[in-house]
Amino acid sequence: MAFVTRQFVRSVSSSSTASASAKKIIIKHVTVIGGGLMGAGIAQVAAATGHTVMLVDQTEDILAKSRKGIEESLRKVAKKKFAENPKAGDEFVEKTLNSISTSTDAASVVHSTDLVVEAIVENLKVKNELFKRLDKFASEHTIFASNTSSLHITDIANATTRQDRFAGLHFFNPVPMMKLVEVIKTPMTSQKTVESLIDFSKALGKHPVSCKDTPGFIVNRLLVPYLMEAIRLHERGDASKEDIDTAMKLGAGYPMGPFELLDYVGLDTAKFIIDGWHEMDAKNPLFQPSPSLNKLVAENKIGKKTGEGYYKYK
């Protein structure tokens, strides 16, 4: 009889847990790991849309710089949004900043959060170690999400015991300006998790699109091979980089040519992505490395941020 009773209790408990996990999460409290440009941008837009935000990084100095950058960005937004009412603009900035707290200890602040968004270095081992640790401290209902642009979400999710509550949430730089968010679903991600993240993205004023966990998701999967093919076209001597850029701007209506965009994004970033994809699928012709790209990165000529890439900048 005791055995039957235990089985019944387990069954009821299991059903209750399943029912709870099936409910869509309304995300109100957000923890952002990483105070760089992406992390700070995500924290800003979340706080500006009524969410309570905890921004986490390794040192107080980094967090102070992040907070200063957020304030400067908010003042630019307020200047445009409240052009005829500067007082309301100041109130908007103050209210948003008051919604952002900071910490250097991620594990101590995730216990009551609805969503953890990771925006740290693009290194699978580092991300896995982070999420494995946070998994032990976060609440059962908490959704984990990575802002990675090049790594498999499934590989990151496997470090946790909440694969059904793990997804990709890929924002674009600069986050306050760019409307798109890619919501990435792994084979284990529950539909309720996806729906919760889509609702959250909309609450931020963004336009979410969903995609399976495929290399590059939607935007980078189309964009990076296009950029690499432009490089190969130039390497073969078929056309100059200047003419390729001009052709794509005037013929396809793109705001920037591929070489201008590569220099803007950073040649190191492009190389990192294509190298990662090549490692995953070495036979795919779209994922083949480029000699000229490798040479420029080796010489630390990685674009606008160093003053030279495919073009020179003063």
The residues annotated as belonging to the active site are 149, 170, 182, 220
Q: Tell whether 89 is in a known binding site.
A: no
255 - beta bridge partners?
none
Q: Mark out the alpha helices in the chain (DSSP H runs).
A: 2-22, 37-48, 60-81, 86-98, 124-137, 153-157, 191-203, 219-235, 241-251, 258-265, 267-280, 291-298
Strands 166-171 and 180-185: antiparallel
255 CB contacts (<8 Å, ≥6 apart)? 249
127 labeled part of a ligand binding site: yes
CB of 115 within 8 A of CB of 143?
yes
Q: Is 293 among the annotated ligand-binding positions?
A: no
Determine if residue 112 is labeled as part of a ligand binding site: no
Is there a binding annotation on residue 73?
Answer: yes
Residue 208's identity, in one-letter code, is: P
Residue type, 92: F
How far apart CA 97 and CA 277 sit, in angstroms, is 39
36 is in an annotated binding site: yes
Nearest to 199 by CA among 213, 212, 188, 210: 210
Question: Is 292 assigned a ligand-binding role in the annotation?
Answer: no
Q: b vs e for 272-284, b when ≥16 Cβ sit within 10 Å of the residue's Cβ?
A: ebbbbbeeeeeee
- Whether residue 149 is annotated as binding a ligand: the answer is yes
Residue 37 CA to residue 39 CA, distance in Å, equals 6
Using an 8 Å Cβ cutoff, are 20 and 195 in contact?
no
Annotated binding-site residue? 173: yes
- Cα distance between residue 236 and residue 231, in whole Å: 9
180-185 β-sheet, strand order: 100-103, 52-56, 29-33, 115-118, 143-146, 166-171, 180-185, 207-212
Is 34 annotated to bind a ligand? Reply is yes
Q: Any binding-site annotation on 85?
A: no
Q: Give the three-class secondary structure for 54.
A: strand
- Ligand-binding annotation for 305, yes or no, is yes
Q: Residues at the annotated binding site for NAD(+)?
A: 34-39, 57, 122, 127, 149, 173, 305
Q: Residues at the annotated binding site for CoA?
A: 73, 80, 149
Q: Residues at the annotated binding site?
A: 34-39, 57, 73, 80, 122, 127, 149, 173, 305
